[in-house]
Structure 1
Amino acid sequence: MTSVITGATVADRVRAGALLAGALLQVVAGGLGGSGAFGLSVGVVARENTTVVMPVPAAFSIWGLIYAALLVLAVRQVLPGQPERAVHRATGWWLVASTLLNAGWILAFSAQAVVLAQVIIVALLVVLAAALARLTAHPAADAADRLTLHGPVALYAGWVSVATVVGAATTGTFLGAPGAGGVATVLGALVLLVTGAIASGVVARGAGAVPYAASVVWALGAIVAMAPPLAVVVAALVALLAIVAVAARRVLTAPPGARVPAAFG
């Protein structure tokens, strides 16, 4: 199904403006949460509740790329001819919700409301999954769609897929569960295997296969780099290799002229 232009309505323009405002809001919230200007920095709270599936701190630099990509997405969809497109009508409010939920998660986590933050990030994952599903139903019309719409949403959804799992472990530690040891290791390994299976399914069928796979692989690799127990390393590597294999198969089995569309939606 292709995007259809029917003329922008007031609702289209309101939605487009809301997404641009939300994209800017989450950048501000990210700056506050990352610097510790509001509460404790996100990194400090995470380190105080460390787990066997915690990525290395450098992995969180991917937020800068996600924020930049979403800003480009938000700016493009307010340009003439864009607000009224069917793909933006299908995904726009879901993406607005994602920006608000992300900002809320940052502020809640920085305020050490860890349980609330976990509820919010689960909601964020659901919202991004809905947006990605709608993009899957609206194949990219051109390279601009692939790079500034399907790609950014898939990248974001992939990172949040793993961040939700890491957040669940962090919440457990915050509530008193052991962050390390035999039980934590077994649970961590099992959760990563399940995450890998689900992510592989998304890569096989959803829009933005390569960007989604790249962000999940980035997160899993960052967990391995933290040198967790062997079982967690093995589980993360199995999940990582499965996702890479599925992404490569999807791209390589597509006709030569369709390989980029297959990768980006």
Structure 2
Amino acid sequence: MAGRRTDLTRATCVLAAAVLQALFGALGATGAIGERVGDVANAHPHPLLPGGTAFLIWNVIYLLCLASAVRQMFPAQRDRDVHRRTGWWLAAAGVLNAAWIAVFTQGWIALSEVVIVCLLVTLAIAWRALAATPARSWSDRLLLHLTVSAYTGWVALAALVGALTTLVSASPSASLTWPSWAAWVVAVGFIALGLVFGRGVLGFALASAWALVWIAAVAHGPLRIAVAAVLAVMAVVLVVGVARRSGRGWLLG
């Protein structure tokens, strides 16, 4: 009985956190709790800041997280080991996401970078936990593995973008050439680590590619060429990985 109560409490917290981050996402996008997230980001331009509609991916992530959280509430799902391994981490991620929006929209850039790094660590732990629990169904693949890996991939790139935003906010006149390339090297490293050591990497790859495409959309010269090269390598890795690793588990969980 105690275990069932704990499972229900955990599932309820995951759902509450998913609702909370979606609510703050909407408030942050409209400027209801401060400046709009997009306006704050655009006020601190740098070479890795994605352009266009890049940040619409947050809406997809929030919807997937909500669907996943609702599914965990079902009696047949609550006591599964996979939810026990990942649930509290996902609840923490939702709270951290909401906190990041609240801080960022107030213009507290450095503090927001600390929060988003904590969010990345939390998501990485949840994604790693999923590697020990292969998917049992397409619902698991879509609402757990793809959701968590995509969330992790996007936040990894967002944390690096945020690092440059923090630098610009602290020193508007600083040269961004070397910091931008350093952040780019780290971004490539993150992507490589995710593809090599992750499980259910499709969401991670798609979210990373989405970020890279929108960085390339506003980049110039060597950076655009570097982005195109990484996208091409990612495509090759996915194709070869599926072919050589009987890839459904690696690709989808």
> What TM-score comes out, normalization by structure 1 length?
0.91
Deviation at residue 17 of structure 1 after TM alignment = 0.2
What's the CA shift string for 1:52-75, capped at 9, x where partnerless?
A: 100014011111110110011000
Alpha-carbon distance in 2 for matches of 1:75, 1:25: 14
Structure-2 residue corresponding to 1:210: 202
Deviation at residue 31 of structure 1 after TM alignment = 0.7
3-state SS, counterpart of residue 127 of structure 1: helix
Gaps of 5+ in 1: 1-5
Out of 155, 171, 183, the position equivalent to 1:191 is 183
Structure-2 residue corresponding to 1:131: 126
Alpha-carbon distance in 2 for matches of 1:185, 1:236: 16
Question: Structure 1 residues 186, 241: closer, same or farther in 2, change over 3 A?
Answer: farther
Deviation at residue 107 of structure 1 after TM alignment = 0.8
Letter of the 1:263 counterpart: L
What's the CA shift string for 1:109-130, capped at 9, x where partnerless?
A: 0010111110000000000000
Structure-1 residue corresponding to 2:215: 223
Task: Indicate if the aligned counterparts of 2:104 and 2:112 stay in contact, CA closer than 8 A.
Answer: yes
Alpha-carbon distance in 2 for matches of 1:57, 1:98: 26
> What TM-score comes out, normalization by structure 2 length?
0.95
Deviation at residue 264 of structure 1 after TM alignment = 1.1
What's the CA shift string for 1:222-262, capped at 9, x where partnerless?
A: 00001x2323223322332333222222212233xxx4333
Aligned residue pairs, count: 253
Structure-2 residue corresponding to 1:261: 249
Alpha-carbon distance in 1 for matches of 2:112, 2:222: 28
Letter of the 1:231 counterpart: P
Deviation at residue 8 of structure 1 after TM alignment = 5.2
Out of 228, 248, 253, the position equivalent to 2:239 is 248
Task: Indicate if the aligned counterparts of 1:53 and 1:166 stay in contact, CA closer than 8 A.
Answer: yes
3-state SS, counterpart of residue 16 of structure 1: helix
Alpha-carbon distance in 2 for matches of 1:235, 1:186: 15
Structure-1 residue corresponding to 2:165: 170
Out of 58, 66, 70, the position equivalent to 2:61 is 66
Alpha-carbon distance in 2 for matches of 1:143, 1:261: 11
Task: Indicate if the aligned counterparts of 2:199 and 2:249 stay in contact, CA closer than 8 A.
Answer: no
**What does residue range 125-164 of structure 1 map to in structure 2 within 5 Å?**
125-164=120-159
- What CA RMSD, in Å, does the superposition of the two structures yield over aligned residues? 1.7
User: Is 1:105 aligned with 2:100?
Assistant: yes
Question: Structure 1 residues 186, 166: closer, same or farther in 2, change over 3 A?
Answer: same
> Identical aligned pairs, as a percentage?
37
Out of 203, 227, 236, the position equivalent to 1:236 is 227
Letter of the 2:88 counterpart: W
Alpha-carbon distance in 1 for matches of 2:100, 2:223: 26
